[in-house]
Amino acid sequence: MENTAEKKKIVLSAIQPTGTPTLGNYLGALKNWKDMSEGEYNCLYAVADLHSLTVRPEPADLRRRTLEMYAILLALGIDPEKNIVFIQSHVPQHAQLSWLLSCCTQFGEAARMTQFKDKSEKHPENVNVGLFTYPILMAADILLYQTDFVPIGEDQKQHLEIARDIAERFNTVYGNTFKLPEPFIGKIGARVKSLQDPSQKMSKSDPNPKGYISMLDDDNIIVKKIKSAVTDSEAKVRYAEGKDGINNLMGIYSCCTGKTYDEIEKEFDGKGYGDFKSAVAEAVVEELRPFKTEFNRLMGDKAYLTECAKNGAEKASYFAQRTLSKAMKKTGLFQL
Ligand code: TYM
């Protein structure tokens, strides 16, 4: 972030600490976070703990999961010295900017968000206002850092669009303040499906644990889950409409091995689903192995994690304050 002469593009993304991330989170977002963090961009990655309050987690669980999620980001191989890795609530500018942006968001446009509609239907007992204003806080996360690219899975695309709309409206009303961010969505892996119901996205809140692979699942559990994945009766490994289960496994295999769909079809020509599933399982196990070892090591060094989180928050705060001050000034809030 310091070297402005290099004019590197800025990347920001965040993940909620609502449980161990799934293979969907990994292939849709986290794998790209890691790849983008290796020098080409200035990257900021956050644990979105404020967002997760919308589902009212147990305080002790939230505290534990936040540090675990922070360790997960480092265990991916994201270097906290070269990138800014922080916990959202440690940078108060996010909540502050969120208020300014709320006043530039129309009720109707927030009410159109499909995630809000889905979540309020699924949990009618807790449709809190935070769930409704969730995308505005997400817009603040992004706009505070003059972000160019936001690596996300497809389910977050609509939230990115509203962030752009809010930024554009603010810029029109008060003068140019925020850069308009672009989503960065991988071609394959952007929507990993449930292994049990491939019409649904793979999600850590799925009540059926066979539907998702958690990034910290034991190797034998990963193998079992992939072997019991829903397929079809054609018994031919090919990517085609109506073969959602196989298409999903092909996407997973492709992301883990770098092979194209054509190459995969050739590799399994004349072979059954049993062979294919064994290969997918092995590829996933191998992909996650180094990450799991590193996660366990890092969890044994909480002092290091806390120190990194503190440094990350300090660095993020510096950049966040620059944009927040600019936005506050433009709106006419009295400056001391
Ligand atoms: P969250 O925590 O639900 O998910 C983190 C990331 O994982 C992606 N993802 C998937 N990708 C492919 N297939 C799936 N089955 C799958 N499930 C999840 C999500 O798209 C996401 O990229 N609101 C965000 C967190 C957030 C954020 C931000 C993101 C807060 N502030 C600012 C970007 C920028 C969320 O709930 O993600």
- Summarised one tens digit per residue, pLDDT across range 164-180 is 999 999 999 999 999 99
Is the domain of 173 the same as that of 288? no
Pair (105, 50) in one structural domain: yes
Top mutation candidate among 11, 137, 156, 166 for ligand 1, by most atoms within 8 Å of CB: 156
- Which distant-in-sequence residues (6+ apart) come within 8 Å of 188 by Cβ? 27, 251, 254, 255
Task: Confirm whether 201 is a catalytic residue.
Answer: yes
Choosing from 88, 155, 204 the residue with most ligand 1 atoms within 8 A of its CB, the one to mutate for a pocket test is: 155
What pLDDT shows up at residue 332?
98
Active-site annotation holds for 271: no
Instruction: Measure the CA–CA gap between 153 and 52, rounded to whole angstroms.
Output: 18
Q: What is the whole-number distance in angstroms between the Cα of residue 169 and the centre of ligand 1? A: 24
Domain assignment present for 201: no
Report yes or no on 280 lying in a domain.
Answer: yes
Among 62, 84, 152, 158, residue to substitute to test ligand 1 (most atoms within 8 Å of Cβ): 152
Query: From CA 221, how far away is CA 205, in angstroms rounded?
Result: 18
Q: Are residues 34 and 138 in the same domain?
A: yes
Closest CA to 245 of 266, 265, 231: 231
Could you read off the pLDDT of 124-146 as tens digits, one per residue?
999 999 999 999 999 999 999 99
Indicate left, alpha or beta for 199 from its phi (over 0: left) and psi (-120 to 50: alpha).
alpha
Pocket of ligand 1 (CB under 6 A): 12-16, 24-25, 28-29, 48, 51, 138, 141-142, 150, 152-153, 155-156, 159, 190-192, 201-202
Tell me, in angstroms, the distance from the centre of ligand 1 to residue 28's CA. Answer: 8
pLDDT digit string (tens) for 295-311?
Answer: 999 999 999 999 999 99
Q: Which atom of ligand 1 is nearest to the CA of 12?
A: 34
Residues 80, 173 within the same domain:
yes
Residue 182 sits in the same domain as residue 318 = yes
**Phi and psi for 237 in degrees, rounded to 5?**
-80, 100
Residue 2 pLDDT > 70: no
Average of per-residue pLDDT values in the chain? 96
Domain count for the chain:
2
Tokens 């699942």, located at residue: 217
Q: Please report, for the domain that includes residue 285, its CATH number.
A: 1.10.240.10
Residue 189 is predicted with a pLDDT of: 82
Evaluate the CA torsion angle 15, 315, 101, 89 in order and state its sign: positive
For the CA of 151, the closest atom of ligand 1 is 22
Condensed to tens digits (0 to 9), the pLDDT of residues 307-331 reads 999 999 999 999 999 999 999 999 9
Predicted local distance difference test score (pLDDT) of residue 6: 64
Check residue 99 and give its pLDDT: 98
- Ligand 1 geometric centre to CA of 310 (Å): 23
The answer to whether 147 and 139 have CB atoms below 8 angstroms apart is no
b (16+ CB within 10 A) / e for 90-127: bbebbebbbebbeebbeeeebeebeebeebeeeeeeee
Amino acid 250: pLDDT: 98
Query: Ligand 1: distance of its center to the CA of 135 in Å?
Result: 12
Nearest CA to ligand 1 atom 34: 13
Residue in the structure block whose two tokens are 């109506």: 242
Residues 245 and 278 in one domain: yes
Q: Rg (Cα) of the chain, in Å, rounded? A: 21
Residue 260, domain extent: 209-295
Q: Within this chain, do residues 182 and 324 fall inside the same structural domain, yes or no?
A: yes
Indicate which CATH number applies to the domain containing 159.
Answer: 3.40.50.620
Q: Are residues 129 and 78 in the same domain?
A: yes
187 is a catalytic site residue: no
Output the pTM of the full model: 0.96
Distances (CA, A) of 45 to 37, 105, 220, 222, 273: 9, 25, 31, 27, 38
